[in-house]
């Protein structure tokens, strides 16, 4: 579209020109003009005529005359072929002196640049500020390290005096001093001998020399060298990387061959010089050869070989190449056979082994030894057999097993456990009966020293006493009003280690015996509940129902265990004096009875109850918003429906777990100590985002009570110390080692702000 318009316009303009031409002529004839003018006209005419023929019509005519109709496209100074200059316009026909001045002025005007508009005031000020800021900040930035240093300093002492000169060494002060005593002389002799410093204790002459050895220039040179080396290295690396990236196979082949040749040469040289190393090299080469052989390169299986095989029928060269390759292959294989047969055989077996899948080996192993699973069951069987066969002979072993049973036999079926336990207990019972008779003797035997016989007897006696005590206790409990407690007496042993952290292990024979006895006690009790028909109670594992009950009971059991079953020997009390305290047995029995009577079997239950209450009290309460009778029938005895209650019950969020959740014998109060809380920090100080961080920083106490005096003083040093009676002057550049005066930098900007404005103006124009 646009193109058409342009074309039309052009056409129009031409027509106008054509129209104009005849008009122009008479006007121009009227004017007085020189020859040149005439010539021009003539030329124009010629052009006009030539343009008539249509071929070269696009020549735009010069507009030499003001006219009403001005084409926007035809404004040009073209036509004459020469450029119009201002001077041409102003040049009069005849040169006159009066115009010379004007010309000069014009020239001057031309030479002068245009004065730009000044910016408005605000803008200028802004620019000033910006520049001043950037400059100043640049100037001030040199203070940054000093500021940082001061901020990080442990302590600042004002006034910031210069570093006090180090106290001169004592030897300098006492120049007249001489070593007088023989010891001193000896010391100095030693020092002199070893060239140790005598006067200045810090540096030996060697050190001093080494310090002085490297001047600044040297250091610089050294650094430059290092830099150069590093640069070279990086170039080399880059080059290597580039080479590595080259994909051309041919190139690589060439490189490889070159390398191989080089290696060969070196090898030959080595052979001459150092045969042992050469042998090693040889081995290496051999290895390489083997690798190559393994790669099946010469077996006519490659791409190239295949193509050659096709061509070989017709091409003699190809055939030859193939044969060559085959020969090479043969050579390779042949050499292999020659090399070392034993090795080869070994390799073969290895290969065989490799070829044979692992499964076979495993099977073989299985053949060798029994299946681990089978093995395990076998051993356990034997174990069982052992216990069944000779329980009397190996009571200790059995006891060991019992003690370890909890840990070991878990994977086995539970029924089995029960069965075995029962058997073991039976055997143990028998054994303990035997043992009880022979006990004093056995305990005596264990103590080989005769001096301790008395002790052991005592021990035995006390043990008997304890037994009686225990049996009595059981009787009492059987008579007691609380059947639950009694039921829990033979509680399973596995619950025990959960709660109790026994510090001592079964180690001695006696203890083992004791263990057996304990078991026996349990066994004695056993029949009772069975008779009462509470077998289900005895084997709680088999009872699938009522897990809730069990859970509660478990805790109870734990508590019971904790308080009752934990009564290890008082064997440790090897005090001869105590016996006299025992008086006659009966009195003691009586006392014990009394104690048992009020030794509160309810203690545990009471405690648990108390704990439950405490837990309940500390739980957040639910809010019940049900309105009885709203939307339902109301009245006495009518309860809102369950659905409604559910709907309007706002459950309180569950609080954090209690601290005594897993401690059955403890009630820890969850109440907050508000009096202490008043002393605690309640607002987190600013830079911290988490209270733990803050706590971490105040964790270490700083008082002198907990720290040594030095540490305390260091921890509490004030950040700023001012010396009394001194003027604290502001810090100066000279103080910190800067030579340049910072003053001179600032006014420079303010002195010639013009330059800056012009620059800015330019920027604006752009």
**Residues 238-277 close enough to bind another protein by CB under 8 A:** none
* Neighbouring C-beta atoms of residue 78, cutoff 10 Å: 13
Q: Which of 544, 631, 724, 737 binds another protein (CB under 8 A)?
A: 544
Question: Closer to another protein at the Cβ: 163 or 448?
Answer: 448
Residue 56 — φ and ψ, nearest 5°?
A: -115, 50
Check binding of 81 to another protein (CB under 8 A).
no
**Residues 692-731 close enough to bind another protein by CB under 8 A:** 692-712, 714-719
Q: Which of 49, 277, 434, 575 binds another protein (CB under 8 A)?
A: 575
Size of the site for another protein (CB under 8 A): 101
H helices present in 409-560, as ranges: 414-446, 453-479, 483-488, 496-499, 509-525, 527-531, 535-538, 547-560
CB of 559 to another protein, least distance (A): 7
CA gyration radius, the chain? 57
Instruction: Find the angle CA(575)-CA(580)-CA(585) to the nearest 5 degrees.
Output: 115
What is the rounded CA–CA span in Å between residue 359 and residue 374? Answer: 19
Q: Which of 351, 573, 593, 638 binds another protein (CB under 8 A)?
A: 573
Check binding of 143 to another protein (CB under 8 A).
no
Check binding of 620 to another protein (CB under 8 A).
no
Check binding of 683 to another protein (CB under 8 A).
yes
Question: Closer to another protein at the Cβ: 432 or 561?
Answer: 561
CB of 660 to another protein, least distance (A): 8
Question: Closer to another protein at the Cβ: 95 or 689?
Answer: 689
* Residue 483-512 contact track with another protein, rule CB under 8 A, x = bound: ----------------xxx-xx--------
Q: Which of 210, 393, 471, 541 binds another protein (CB under 8 A)?
A: 541
The separation between the first and the last C-alpha atoms of the chain, rounded to the nearest angstrom, is 35
Question: Closer to another protein at the Cβ: 500 or 625?
Answer: 500
**Residues 644-663 close enough to bind another protein by CB under 8 A:** 659-660, 663
Check binding of 536 to another protein (CB under 8 A).
no
DSSP 462-493: HHHHHHHHHHHHHHHHHHSS-HHHHHHTT--G
- Return all residues near 691 (Cβ < 8 A) that are at least 6 apart: 684
Residue 450 — φ and ψ, nearest 5°?
A: -75, -25
Check binding of 154 to another protein (CB under 8 A).
yes
Residue located via tokens 């001592």:
504
Which residue(s) pair with 649 in the sheet? 624
Check binding of 556 to another protein (CB under 8 A).
no
Check binding of 676 to another protein (CB under 8 A).
yes
Q: Which of 668, 721, 728, 746 binds another protein (CB under 8 A)?
A: 668
Instruction: Find the angle CA(83)-CA(87)-CA(90) to the nearest 5 degrees.
Output: 120
Q: Which of 114, 598, 751, 752 binds another protein (CB under 8 A)?
A: 598
Question: Closer to another protein at the Cβ: 372 or 703?
Answer: 703
Tokens describing residue 144? 């940054």
Q: Which of 658, 667, 757, 760 binds another protein (CB under 8 A)?
A: 667
CB of 501 to another protein, least distance (A): 6
- 592 with 469: CB under 8 angstroms? yes
- 160 with 731: CB under 8 angstroms? yes
Check binding of 478 to another protein (CB under 8 A).
no
Check binding of 570 to another protein (CB under 8 A).
yes
Cα–Cα nearest to 749, from 292, 57, 134, 310: 134
Check binding of 595 to another protein (CB under 8 A).
yes
CB of 451 to another protein, least distance (A): 10
Element (H, E) at 22: helix 2-30
CB of 406 to another protein, least distance (A): 17
Q: Which stretch binds another protein (CB under 8 A): 113-121, 303-311, 427-435, 680-688?
A: 680-688
What is the rounded CA–CA span in Å between residue 127 and residue 461? Answer: 107
Q: Which of 82, 122, 341, 581 binds another protein (CB under 8 A)?
A: 581
CB of 685 to another protein, least distance (A): 7
DSSP 174-225: TTT----SHHHHHHHHHHHHTT--SS-SS--HHHHHHHHHS-HHHHHHHHHH
């Amino acid at each position: 579209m646009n193109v058409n318009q342009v074309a039309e316009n052009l056409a129009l303009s031409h027509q106008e020109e054509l129209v104009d031409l005849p008009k122009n002529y008479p006007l121009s004839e009227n004017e007085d003009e020189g020859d040149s003018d005439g010539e021009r006209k003539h030329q124009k005419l010629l052009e006009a005529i030539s343009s008539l023929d249509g071929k070269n019509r696009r020549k735009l005519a010069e507009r030499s005359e003001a006219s009403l109709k001005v084409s926007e496209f035809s404004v040009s100074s073209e036509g004459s072929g020469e450029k119009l200059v201002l001077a041409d316009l102003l040049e009069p026909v005849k040169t006159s002196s009066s115009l010379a001045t004007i010309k000069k002025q014009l020239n001057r005007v031309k030479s002068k640049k245009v004065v730009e508009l000044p910016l408005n005031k605000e803008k200028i000020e802004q620019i000033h500020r910006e520049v001043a800021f950037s400059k100043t900040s640049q100037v001030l930035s040199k203070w940054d390290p000093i500021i940082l240093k001061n901020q990080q300093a442990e302590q600042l002492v004002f006034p910031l005096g210069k570093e006090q000169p180090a106290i001169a060494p004592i030897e300098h002060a006492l120049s007249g001093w001489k070593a007088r005593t023989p010891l001193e002389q000896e010391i100095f002799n030693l020092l002199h001998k070893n060239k140790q410093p005598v006067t200045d204790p810090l540096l030996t002459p060697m050190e001093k020399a080494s310090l002085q050895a490297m001047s600044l220039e040297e250091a610089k040179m050294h650094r430059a060298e290092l830099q150069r080396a590093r640069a070279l290295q990086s170039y080399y690396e880059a080059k290597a990387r580039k080479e590595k990236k080259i994909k051309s196979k041919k190139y690589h082949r060439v490189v490889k061959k070159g390398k191989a040749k080089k290696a060969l040469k070196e090898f030959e040289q080595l052979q001459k010089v150092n045969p042992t190393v050469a042998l090693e090299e040889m081995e290496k080469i051999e290895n390489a050869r083997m690798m190559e052989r393994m790669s099946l390169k010469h077996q006519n299986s490659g791409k190239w070989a295949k193509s050659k095989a096709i061509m070989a029928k017709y091409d003699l060269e190809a055939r030859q190449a193939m044969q060559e390759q085959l020969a090479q292959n043969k050579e390779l294989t042949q050499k292999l056979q020659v090399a070392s047969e034993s090795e080869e055989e070994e390799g073969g077996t290895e290969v065989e082994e490799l070829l044979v899948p692992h499964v076979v080996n495993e099977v073989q192993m299985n053949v060798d030894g029994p299946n681990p699973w089978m093995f395990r069951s076998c051993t356990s069987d034997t174990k069982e057999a052992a216990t069944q066969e000779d329980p009397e002979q190996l009571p200790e072993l059995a006891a060991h097993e019992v003690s370890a049973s909890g840990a070991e036999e878990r994977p086995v079926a539970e029924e089995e456990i029960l069965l075995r336990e029962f058997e073991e207990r039976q055997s143990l019972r028998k054994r303990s009966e035997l043992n009880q008779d022979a006990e004093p003797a056995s305990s005596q035997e264990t103590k080989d020293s005769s001096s301790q016989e008395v002790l052991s007897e005592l021990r035995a006696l006390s043990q008997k006493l304890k037994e009686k005590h225990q049996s009595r206790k059981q009787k009492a409990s059987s008579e007691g009003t609380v059947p639950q407690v009694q039921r829990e007496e033979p509680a399973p042993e596995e619950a025990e280690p959960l709660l109790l952290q026994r510090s001592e292990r079964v180690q001695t024979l006696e203890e083992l015996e004791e263990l057996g006895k304990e078991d026996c006690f349990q066994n004695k009790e056993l029949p009772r509940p069975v008779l009462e028909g509470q077998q289900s109670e005895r084997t709680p594992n088999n009872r699938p129902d009522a897990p809730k009950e069990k859970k509660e009971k478990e805790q109870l059991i734990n508590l019971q265990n904790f308080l009752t079953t934990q009564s290890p020997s008082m064997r440790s009390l090897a005090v001869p004096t105590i016996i006299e305290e025992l008086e006659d047995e009966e009195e003691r029995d009586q006392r014990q009875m009394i104690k048992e009577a009020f030794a509160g079997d309810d203690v545990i239950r009471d405690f648990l109850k108390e704990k439950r209450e405490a837990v309940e009290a500390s739980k957040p309460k639910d809010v019940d918003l049900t309105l009885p009778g709203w939307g339902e029938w109301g009245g006495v005895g009518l309860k809102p429906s369950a659905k409604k209650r559910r709907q309007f019950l706002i459950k309180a969020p569950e609080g954090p777990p209690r601290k005594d959740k897993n401690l059955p014998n403890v009630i820890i109060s969850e109440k907050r100590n508000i009096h202490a809380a008043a002393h605690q920090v309640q607002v987190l100080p600013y830079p911290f985002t988490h209270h733990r961080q803050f706590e971490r920083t105040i964790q270490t106490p700083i008082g002198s009570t907990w720290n040594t005096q030095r540490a305390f003083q260091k921890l509490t040093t004030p950040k700023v110390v001012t010396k009394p009676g001194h003027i604290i002057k502001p810090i100066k550049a000279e103080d910190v080692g800067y030579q340049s005066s910072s003053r001179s930098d600032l006014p420079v900007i303010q002195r010639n702000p013009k330059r800056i404005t012009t620059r800015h103006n330019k920027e604006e124009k752009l």
